[in-house]
């Protein structure tokens, strides 16, 4: 496993896929702050809540000068259905490629449940500065109140 990157490190500019099939890179958001929230899976209770919370605050993030981007390994078509089903405002990207962004960040890792090991996404949020450097990292995210806490950090700095 790669060591997780932290504040001051350059955020990797690795291509992902948008729900419409186009390519999306963190550098597409250069010049403004970017909140990238990684979550395990579309349409699961915690992930749905997290996406809805960020979407509900999307106008406030924009007013504070930050773009939002939700990322999971789910395929683009699944993201499109997830966005439509829940009326999500925060853009989503698919990081399905081996060696993709979550691998580079060290947050695609071995997890275990009920004695079974599997690869999974660590729920992690990054605040990236306009210069592409990481300003703050939230790891082991608890969904309740998280989007509000991130918004507060964007406003403060």
**17 within domain boundaries:** no
For position 147, which CATH number holds? 3.40.30.10
- The reported pLDDT for the residue numbered 113 is 85
Please give the model's pTM, rounded to 2 decimal places.
Answer: 0.94
Active site residue 47: yes
- The reported pLDDT for the residue numbered 4 is 75
* β-pairing verdict for 16-17 and 66-72: unpaired
Q: Show the low-confidence residues of the chain (pLDDT under 70).
A: 1-3
**10 within domain boundaries:** no
**45 within domain boundaries:** yes
**44 within domain boundaries:** yes
Report residue 150: phi and psi, to 5°: -65, -45
Two tokens, residue 44: 């699961």
Helix (H) / strand (E) containing 137: strand 134-138
Q: Which of these is catalytic: 24, 47, 69, 122?
A: 47
**89 within domain boundaries:** yes
For residue 37, the enclosing domain spans 30-156
Two tokens, residue 72: 């999971």
Whole-angstrom distance, CA of residue 95 vs CA of residue 81: 17
How many folded domains does the chain comprise? 1
**11 within domain boundaries:** no
pLDDT, tens digit (0-9, with 9 covering 90-100), for 53-63: 999 999 999 99
């Amino acid at each position: 496993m790669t060591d997780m990157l932290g504040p001051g490190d350059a955020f990797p500019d690795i291509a992902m896929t948008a729900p419409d099939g186009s390519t999306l890179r963190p550098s597409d958001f250069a010049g403004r702050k970017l909140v990238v929230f990684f979550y395990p899976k579309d349409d699961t209770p915690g992930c749905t809540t997290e996406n809805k919370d960020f979407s509900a605050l999307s106008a406030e993030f924009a007013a504070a000068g930050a773009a939002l981007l939700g990322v999971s390994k789910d395929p683009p078509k699944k993201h499109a259905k997830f966005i439509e089903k829940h009326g999500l405002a925060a853009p989503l990207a698919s990081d399905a490629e081996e060696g993709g962004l979550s691998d580079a960040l060290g947050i695609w890792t071995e997890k275990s449940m009920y004695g079974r090991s599997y690869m999974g996404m660590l729920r992690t949020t990054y605040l990236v500065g306009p210069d592409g450097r990481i300003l703050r990292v939230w790891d082991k995210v608890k969904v309740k109140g998280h989007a509000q806490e991130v918004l507060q950090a964007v406003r403060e700095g």
